[in-house]
C-alpha cells in the first residue's frame, strides 16, 4: 500500500512540472546528440578529477590551502543551491549553520576529545536538527519576510557565541590541533587536509545528486515552480520546505566541520552576517540550480574578496560590488550558465554534422 502511495506522489510531482516541457530527446538524432554531450560531460569530469588529485602535489602549500577552502565553501554552497536553486526558498542566514558545524566540531574535539573523523557526521547531524527547527518559518513565510527571519538568525548568532565563554571560548574562540595525516600516506599536513576536503566535496555532491533525482527532488521542483499546483497534485509544500532547510543546514554544518579541520581555529567574528551574504552572492554568481554552480561559487567566495582588497585597500567593498555587477552582466544565469551555452552550441554543431551525414 505504501509503495502505491509513493508511486502516486511521484506521478503527481512529475505532473506538477510546467506543461510543454520536454523531459528528454524523442528522435534518434536527438538521442545521438544527447549521448555525445553526455560522454563529453563524463570526460570533462574525469579530467577535472585527475587535476584535482594531482593539484596538491604540484602547488605550493599556500595555494593548496586556498583550494582546500574553495572546496569547503563549495560544500556549504551545495546546501544553499539545494535551498535557493531547487526549492525556491531564500536564506540570508546560511553562515549561521556553517558556524553551527564549525563550533560543533571544535567543541567535540576540544572539550570531548572525540576523533576528528567522528565529528564530521555529528556536526552535519547537529546542523540538520537545528535547520529542521528553524525551517518552521519557511512553512509560513515567503520572500522578504523569510529573508528577514533568516537574516535575524545570522545576526544574533555572534553575540550568542560570545556569551557562553566556558564552552565556545568567547571572543577569543577555540584553538585546535589540525588533523595529522596517517604515516602510511606519506602526505604533508596541507595535502591531507586537501584530500579530506576533496572527499567531503565528492560525498556532498553525490548526496545532492541522488537526492535531487529522487521522488523528493521532483517534489521540491514542483513546489518551486508552482506551489499551488503541487499542493493540488498531493505534494505537501510545508513539509518539503522544512526539509529543504534542514538538508541545506546539514551541508553547511558539514562544511563548517571541514573549515574547523582546515583552519584549526574558530571565533565568533569569523561567522558574521557578511559570511551569509557572501555565500549567497557566491551561489548566485556560480549559477543557481547548476551542478557546477557551488564549485564556481566557492572560487568566487575564496578569491574575489581578497582580490578586491588587493585592487583597492581603501574601498574593497566597492570593487567587490563592481565585480559582482560585471559578472552578472556578462553571465545573467551565473558562471555555470556559460557552460550551458557551450553545451547548447555543441548540440547544434553535432546536430548539423548528423544532418549533413
- The residue segments making up the domain with residue 73 are 66-273
The domain tally of the chain equals 1
Residue tagged 557552460 (cell numbers): 339
CB 85 within 8 A of CB 293: yes
Residue 103 lies in a domain: yes
pLDDT of residue 23: 45
Can you tell me whether residue 108 is helix, strand or coil? helix
* C-alpha grid cell, residue 181: 595525516
Residue 267 lies in a domain: yes
The CA distance from 82 to 245, in Å, is 9
Residue 288 lies in a domain: no
Q: Return the number of other C-beta atoms located less than 10 Å from residue 107's C-beta.
A: 21
Residue 242 lies in a domain: yes
User: What is the value of pTM for the model shown?
Assistant: 0.85
Task: Give the CA angle between residues 217, 220, 226 to the nearest 5°.
Answer: 140
CB 210 within 8 A of CB 216: no
CB 347 within 8 A of CB 30: no
pLDDT of residue 298: 93
Who contacts 253 (Cβ-Cβ below 8 Å, separation ≥6)?
97, 98, 100, 101, 104, 123, 124, 125, 126, 127, 128, 131
Residue 295 lies in a domain: no
Alpha-carbon Rg for the chain in angstroms: 22
* Among candidate residues 134, 122, 93, the one with its CA nearest the CA of residue 260: 122
Q: Tally DSSP H helices, then E strands, for the chain.
A: 15, 2
Residue 263 lies in a domain: yes
Residue 286 lies in a domain: no
Residue 170 lies in a domain: yes
Mean pLDDT by 10 residues, the chain (357 residues): 43 42 53 62 85 94 95 96 90 93 95 94 96 83 83 89 90 92 92 96 94 89 85 84 92 97 94 92 88 91 82 72 81 77 66 63
Amino acid at each position: 500500500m505504501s509503495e502505491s502511495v509513493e508511486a502516486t506522489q511521484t506521478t503527481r510531482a512529475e505532473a506538477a512540472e510546467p506543461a510543454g516541457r520536454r523531459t528528454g530527446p524523442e528522435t534518434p538524432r536527438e538521442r545521438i546528440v544527447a549521448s555525445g554531450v553526455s560522454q563529453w560531460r563524463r570526460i570533462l569530469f574525469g579530467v577535472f578529477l585527475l587535476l584535482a588529485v594531482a593539484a596538491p602535489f604540484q602547488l605550493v602549500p599556500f595555494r593548496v590551502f586556498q583550494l582546500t577552502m574553495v572546496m569547503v565553501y563549495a560544500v556549504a554552497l551545495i546546501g544553499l543551491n539545494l535551498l535557493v536553486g531547487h526549492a525556491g526558498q531564500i536564506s540570508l542566514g546560511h553562515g549561521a549553520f556553517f558556524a553551527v558545524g564549525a563550533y560543533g566540531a571544535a567543541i567535540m574535539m576540544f572539550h570531548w576529545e572525540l576523533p576528528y573523523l567522528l565529528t564530521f557526521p555529528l556536526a552535519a547531524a547537529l546542523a540538520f536538527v537545528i535547520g529542521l527547527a528553524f525551517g518552521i518559518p519557511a512553512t509560513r513565510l515567503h520572500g522578504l519576510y523569510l529573508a528577514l527571519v533568516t537574516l535575524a538568525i545570522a545576526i544574533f548568532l555572534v553575540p550568542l557565541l560570545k556569551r557562553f565563554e566556558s564552552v565556545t571560548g568567547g571572543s577569543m574562540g577555540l584553538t585546535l590541533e589540525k588533523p595529522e595525516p596517517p604515516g602510511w600516506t606519506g602526505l604533508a599536513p596541507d595535502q591531507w587536509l586537501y584530500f579530506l576536503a576533496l572527499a567531503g566535496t565528492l560525498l556532498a555532491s553525490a548526496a545532492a545528486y541522488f537526492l535531487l533525482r529522487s521522488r523528493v527532488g521532483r517534489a521540491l521542483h514542483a513546489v518551486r515552480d508552482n506551489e499551488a499546483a503541487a499542493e493540488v497534485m498531493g505534494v505537501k509544500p510545508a513539509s518539503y520546505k522544512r526539509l529543504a532547510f534542514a538538508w541545506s543546514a546539514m551541508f553547511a554544518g558539514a562544511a563548517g566541520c571541514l573549515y574547523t579541520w582546515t583552519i584549526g581555529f574558530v571565533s565568533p567574528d569569523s561567522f558574521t552576517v557578511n559570511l551569509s551574504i557572501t555565500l549567497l552572492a557566491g551561489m548566485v554568481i556560480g549559477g543557481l540550480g547548476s551542478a557546477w554552480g557551488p564549485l564556481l561559487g566557492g572560487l568566487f567566495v575564496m578569491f574575489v574578496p581578497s582580490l578586491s582588497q588587493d585592487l583597492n585597500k581603501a574601498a574593497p567593498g566597492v570593487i567587490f560590488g563592481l565585480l559582482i555587477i560585471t559578472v552578472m552582466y556578462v553571465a545573467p544565469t551565473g558562471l555555470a550558465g556559460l557552460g550551458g551555452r557551450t553545451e547548447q552550441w555543441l548540440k547544434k554543431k553535432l546536430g548539423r554534422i548528423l544532418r549533413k551525414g
